[in-house]
């Protein structure tokens, strides 16, 4: 079953994996992005994710349909968590089921790249020194 979801709850990877099953499937690739304890060498306590929910879910669905069409894979799940996330939490899950590993790996990789490039979600770093700053904010003083 395809799944495209923005959620403020922990991402249930078990449910995502179990929701995917096709008789013609030979390969499944699950990518999980987790909150790191540093960014570009600077210590971090975690991230806050802002989202434009309706556009983001529509964009996840659009990416999934592209992946199935371009790579010929069978099923796609794209889930992004938003809100405040501590270090180690899963922020994004991409799960692709396909016939063979070539197209399944390629689609999963394209999937996470497109999620990061095109879905209206923004992250704010909670630095370990107590300050916070949005990523890609050219006008930020921190």
Partner 1 sequence: MATMRITVLFFSFAADRMNARERAYELEAPLTVGGFFDQSLAGPLGEPLAAWLFSVNQEWVSPDYLLQEGDEMAVVPPVSGG
Interface residue list for a second copy (CB under 8 A)? 13-14, 17, 21, 23-38, 87-88, 99, 101, 105, 108-109, 112
Residue 55's binding partner among a second copy, partner 1, none (Cβ under 5 to 8 angstroms by kind) is: partner 1
Any residues with CB less than 8 A from the CB of 100 and at least 6 apart, and which? 26, 27
Residues that bind partner 1 (CB under 8 A): 33, 49-52, 54-56, 58, 80, 91-92, 112, 115-124, 134-140
Dist CA 79 CA 77 (whole Å): 6
Q: How far is the CB of 2 from partner 1 (least distance, A)?
A: 19
We find the least distance from the C-beta atom of residue 28 to partner 1, in angstroms, to be: 13
According to DSSP, the β-strands at 75-81 and 83-86 are unpaired
Q: For the CA atoms of the chain, what is the radius of gyration?
A: 16
């Amino acid at each position: 079953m395809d799944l495209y979801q923005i959620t403020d709850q922990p991402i249930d990877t078990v449910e995502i994996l179990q929701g995917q099953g096709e008789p013609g499937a030979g390969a499944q690739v699950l990518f999980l992005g987790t909150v790191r304890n540093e960014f570009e060498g600077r210590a971090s306590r975690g991230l806050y994710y802002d989202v434009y929910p309706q556009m983001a879910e529509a964009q996840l669905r659009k990416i999934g349909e592209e992946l199935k069409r371009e790579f010929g894979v069978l099923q796609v799940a794209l889930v992004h968590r938003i809100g405040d996330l501590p270090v180690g939490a899963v922020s994004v899950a991409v799960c692709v089921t396909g016939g063979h590993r070539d197209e399944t790996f390629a689609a999963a990789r394209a999937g996470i790249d497109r999620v990061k490039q095109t879905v209206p979600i923004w992250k704010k770093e909670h630095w370990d020194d107590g300050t916070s700053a949005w990523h890609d904010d050219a006008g930020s003083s921190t």
